[in-house]
Chains A and B, each alone.
Chain A
């Protein structure tokens, strides 16, 4: 096995294990350094990108400034396998170590294999790199017992049990450690960190009971939701408070999210594990690449940064059409696949979509006070932008009316986020028996799972048929109604979907309803 090399110099040849990122996954890279006699040169081969090429200057200075000799010889570095593109500065440290081994400045005293990643500064100090947690996971899977990582990344790597992680501050430190001159203690795991700005509490939202209830249901079942209402009705306010009631991430989910943020370099200094559900709200001017991720230099886009959390698209119809179109596939699959010359890269992108929109271009359709000044054509066009495949995947559709100022002033404070969150937590526990075979949430149920988990008594079935008939719902609405009813039943810890659950669910499907199409009837 290639990774069982212990970094022992073989004549003038040294091999060191390192890693790179493929999307958000770690991939093993062998760093081979050959030093031979000849005209002094320093070449890196094996599909390095520009940043890797630039590392030659950093390595040369770092070695010199750490008071080692930089060999005045012919140095060839090979990064293998050759078919993976090597990106970024994380190979600085393993290459430097390889050179020092090949020139016998280092004779490793370790008797097991190890993996090294890290960027070098000119003075030999070591800077953090992205995606360390993914590399640690990879190391564990490949059975590599030891990692040397930048000090600032060490507690992040140490989140993965089974790998001993040494945090390194300076080139001399790792050299002395490998030579057995000093001892280091392994890093401990990082604490959990916050990524969302804390944003208010549900109790601040007055009235809007139906909207709050709908958000509670959405949060509990991970249902996509769209809010339709005039400007100032509180749609943004409602959405921003959603994170305060979301159920916590499971361990597996937390790891997935942390991997994404780590590989994008979005973890705060010192790293850590993300235990809250991400809440992303990109502006509607966002580019396609910003939304789904870059293609030439794959980086997670907003849809991946929202993985296991919320993607809030405020002013939904204002987003570019191609950007909205691009949401479709990830909403089906929960992942985004970017094809490249050497295989494809997958980014997880299973998010809960929360969208808000005005009921019409001017915003006041259906308002009690202000007249709507839109032509019917404008309104048709406006809705055509959101209808179709995306709207098809939105389980909950609600209207948020503008409340009178005196209603706002008079109303009492509402229920706190904490108390709503407790209800959701209980409901999630109630659902937990379902969480197997890839089941994640009611909102993500596939037809097969709906069949299994949404069994109906004949009387409820009859009621559902009556509702579909009476409200002229499409066949497609049927499944969505069931999913939402399932979550409503879960919230009252009922094994069966009851009549009440179905009766309530229909109130959260406003865009399906005929009255909406006919502006004045």
Chain B
């Protein structure tokens, strides 16, 4: 009973949105009751919030949502240290931040193929070495980062700009399911259950992405991209910002190149990041799959993702034979296909 009242207190506090003050008061050792009274809210408002908090609590039980107040040992430590941490986190899935090191990977919602490839290359290397990935569950680079982390057998955390139960963006419903069912990831939100994707949620949510980790990596971002906001928060929070360089004529690399100019560490491989974690990079396990001679030729050409036409030219196969070999490699689970007729080796 006491526990329940206690959690409802925290929900109520969270609903006030007065994160700075709450953190301030809580770190001085005040109880929830004391903090509530300190905030000096009108009585009516207080009652309304209380009622809402009680409903919120009930719904979270129904939906299987974990509620983690800032007072909890399970609350992410790095996040606790920012100036305006949420008073309470809504969580679905495994609390994986307790298990591993994490890095935030963010970028544009409209990546180029380059941005996508860069994300995949770096993320797969990181998860291979036990670094988990925090991102914003948005379309684009975020989605690539989460997906790649799961594919590589790693951990991932999606920070939502909506209520924890809201499926947004809708096309990511599959990813949402994958994260939750994998037992290797979770979704986190500070917003009340059922909250819609309001545009003001997203920049605010970004401070949690950067706040959860020591390093924020920006893969591909235009100057106006939300990822730049996240980078800004990271700096404000005294965290580090890394960036992947890009072509100077690519709009999507103007933000990242700008960050580099301002002193962000240049990242051109996953190993550049592993250094920072003092992780000794694992030698990429060279798998010697059961390949026949023809398959081996294609496999060797695929040392990086390539356009089908290019592989065909290099290999010298006729197109019919080529397509047969490709299907065989796909069936063996060794290569995969990307939109735009690209092929790549499947990692892991």
Query: Given A369-B112, A401-B341, A519-B339, A504 and B174 touching (CB < 8 A)?
Result: no
A367 and B113: CB pair below 8 A? yes
Q: A520-B147, A521-B143 are in contact. Are A209 and B319 (CB under 8 A)?
A: yes
Q: Does B324 contact A (CB under 8 A)?
A: yes
Residues of B within 8 A of A508 (CB): 323
In the assembled complex, how far is the CB of residue A343 from the closest CB belonging to chain B, in whole angstroms? Answer: 49
Chain A contacts of B336 at CB under 8 A? 515
Q: A370-B112, A376-B170, A520-B147 are in contact. Are A503 and B323 (CB under 8 A)?
A: yes
- A501 → chain B closest CB, angstroms: 9
Q: Which A residues touch B115, using CB under 8 A?
A: 371
Known contacts A207-B309, A372-B110, A504-B327; is A366 also within 8 Å of B338 by CB?
yes
CA distance A366 to B136 in the complex (A): 22
Q: Closest residue of chain A to B141, judged by CB?
A: A520
Report Cα–Cα, A520/B339, bound state, in Å: 9
Cα-based distance from A149 to B309 in the complex (angstroms): 57
Which among A371, A471, A513 is the interface contact of B111 at CB below 8 angstroms? Answer: A371
- A353 contact set on B, CB distance < 8 A: none
- CA of A145 to CA of B60, assembled, Å: 90
Query: Taking the complex as formed, is A506 at the interface, i.e. its CB lies under 8 A from any CB of chain B?
Result: yes
Contact A380 B340, beta carbon cutoff 8 Å: no
| 15 residue pairs A–B, Cβ–Cβ below 8 Å | A213-B323, A366-B341, A367-B340, A371-B108, A371-B251, A470-B331, A471-B330, A500-B324, A504-B323, A507-B323, A507-B326, A508-B323, A519-B339, A520-B140, A520-B143
Q: Taking CB as reference atom, which chain B residue is nearest A403? A: B309
Partner of A212, one of B116, B307, B319, B340: B319
Point out which of A208, A230, A466 has the most chain B C-beta atoms below 10 A from its C-beta. Answer: A208
CA distance A403 to B312 in the complex (A): 13
CA distance A407 to B312 in the complex (A): 13
Is the CB of B88 closer than 8 A to any CB of chain A?
no
Inter-chain CA distance A470–B336, complex, in Å, is 12
Q: A370–B113 Cα gap in the complex (Å)?
A: 8
Contacting residues of chain B (68-96) with chain A, CB-CB under 8 angstroms:
none
A:208-252 near B, CB below 8 Å: 208-210, 212-213, 230
Query: Across the interface, do A470 and B112 meet the contact criterion of CB distance under 8 Å?
Result: no
A260 interface hit (Cβ, 8 Å)? no
- Chain A nearest CB from B195 CB (Å) reads 20
Please name all residues of chain B whose beta carbon is closer than 8 Å to the beta carbon of A208 when the two chains form the complex. 309
For residue B171, CB closer than 8 A to chain A, the reply is yes
- Measured between beta carbons, the chain B residues less than 8 angstroms from A372 are 110
Residues of B within 8 A of A365 (CB): 339-340
Bound complex: CA of A365 vs CA of B171, how far in Å?
A: 15
CB distance from A406 to the nearest CB of B (A): 12
Are B113 and A368 in contact, with the CB atoms below 8 A? Answer: yes
Chain A positions 351 through 382: 1 when the CB is less than 8 Å from some CB of chain B, otherwise 0: 00000000100000111111111111101100
Query: Judging by beta carbons under 8 Å apart, are A503 and B339 in contact?
Result: no
A507 vs B329: C-alpha distance when bound (angstroms): 12
Check A368/B307 contact, CB under 8 A, given A212-B319, A359-B339, A520-B111: yes
The answer, yes or no, to whether A516 is at the interface (CB within 8 Å) is yes
Contact with A along B301-319 (1 / 0, CB 8 A): 0000001111011000001
Identify the 3 closest CB pairs spanning chains A and B, nearest first.
A366-B340, A366-B339, A376-B171
Contact B320 A213 (CB under 8 A): yes
Expressed in whole angstroms, the Cα–Cα distance for A519 and B307 within the complex equals 17
Within the complex, what minimum Cβ distance (angstroms) separates B307 from chain A?
A: 6
Is A395 an interface position by the 8 A CB rule? Answer: no
Interface positions of B from 177 to 191, Cβ below 8 Å from A: none
Bound together, the chains give a CA A463 to CA B340 distance in angstroms of 26
- B337 interface residue per 8 A CB criterion: yes
A500: shortest Cβ distance to chain B, in Å? Answer: 5
A140 nearest CB across to chain B (Å) = 46
Least CB distance from A204 to B in Å reads 16
Q: Which residues of B contact A520 (CB under 8 A)?
A: 111, 116, 139-141, 143-144, 147
B224 within 8 A of A: no
Give the distance to chain A from B197, nearest Cβ to Cβ, in Å.
12
B174 near A399 (CB under 8 angstroms)? no
- Minimum distance in angstroms from B184 CB to a CB of chain A: 16
Q: Does B254 contact A (CB under 8 A)?
A: no
- With A and B bound together, what is the CA distance between A470 and B330 in angstroms? 9
CA distance A366 to B308 in the complex (A): 13
Number of interface residues of A (CB under 8 A): 46
What B residues does A379 contact at CB under 8 A?
Answer: 171
A342 to chain B, nearest CB (A): 52
- CB-nearest residue of chain A to B175: A521
Residue with the highest number of chain B CB atoms closer than 10 Å, among A230, A376, A520? A520
Interface size class of B (residues with CB under 8 A): 35 or more
Contact yes or no, A399 B319, CB < 8 A: no
Choice from A213, A359, A506 contacting B319 with Cβ under 8 Å: A213
In the assembled complex, B210 has its CB within 8 A of some CB on chain A: no
Q: For the complex, is B252 an interface residue (Cβ under 8 Å from A)?
A: yes
Query: With a CB–CB cut-off of 8 A, which chain B residues contact A138?
Result: none
Q: Cβ of A467 < 8 Å from any Cβ of B? A: yes
User: Do the beta carbons of B337 and A515 come within 8 Å of each other?
Assistant: yes
Would B337 and A366 count as touching, CB distance under 8 A?
no
With an 8 A cutoff between CB atoms, is A488 at the interface?
A: yes
B328 within 8 A of A: yes
Docked-complex contact B110 and A210, CB < 8 angstroms: no
Known: A365-B340, A366-B342. 16 other contacts (CB 8 A): A207-B313, A209-B312, A365-B339, A366-B113, A366-B339, A368-B307, A375-B139, A377-B170, A401-B342, A470-B330, A500-B320, A519-B143, A520-B139, A520-B147, A521-B144, A521-B175
For the complex formed, measure the closest distance between the CB of B28 and the CB atoms of chain A, giving whole angstroms: 45
Contact B341 A506 (CB under 8 A): no
> Which residues on A sit within 8 Å (CB–CB) of B308?
210, 401
Residues of chain A contacted by B171 (CB below 8 angstroms): 376-377, 379-380, 519
Question: Does the CB pair B112–A515 fall under 8 Å?
Answer: no
Say yes or no: is B194 at the interface (Cβ < 8 Å to chain A).
Answer: no
Interface string of A168-208 (1 = CB under 8 A from B): 00000000000000000000000000000000000000011
Q: Does A518 count as interface, using CB distance less than 8 angstroms?
A: yes
Contact, CB under 8 Å: A371 / B341: no
Q: Which residues of A have CB within 8 Å of B17?
A: none
Q: Select which of B143, B144, B340 is within 8 A of A399 by beta carbon.
A: B340
Alpha-carbon separation in the docked complex, A467 to B323 (Å): 14
Bound: A503/B251 CA distance, A: 40
Q: Assess whether B319 is in contact with A210, with CB atoms less than 8 Å apart.
A: yes
Q: Give residues 383-398 of A contacting B (CB, 8 Å).
A: none
Give the CA-CA distance A401 to B342 in the complex, in Å: 9
**Cβ-based interface call for B348 (8 A):** no
Q: Which residue of A lies closest to B247 (CB)?
A: A369
Contact status A515-B338, CB under 8 Å:
yes
Whether the Cβ atoms of B309 and A515 lie closer than 8 Å is no
The answer on a CB contact under 8 Å between A373 and B320 is no
List residues 106-137 of chain B with CB under 8 A from any CB of chain A: 108, 110-116
Name which residue of chain B comes closest to A508, CB basis: B323
Contact with A along B162-175 (1 / 0, CB 8 A): 00000001110011
Inter-chain contacts of B326 with A (CB < 8 A): 507
Provide the bound-state CA to CA distance between A371 and B322, in Å: 29
B320–A516 touching, CB < 8 Å: no
Q: With A and B bound together, what is the CA distance between A466 and B308 in angstroms?
A: 23
Give every chain A residue within 8 A of B116 (Cβ-Cβ): 520
Residues of A within 8 A of B111 (CB): 371, 520
- Binary CB contact string for chain A from 391 to 432 against chain B (1 if under 8 A, 0 otherwise): 000000001110100010000000000000000000000000
A475, B328: Cα distance in complex, Å? 21
In the complex, are the beta carbons of B309 and A209 less than 8 A apart? yes
CA distance in complex: A470, B341 (Å)? 19
Give the chain B neighbours of A374 by CB distance below 8 A.
110
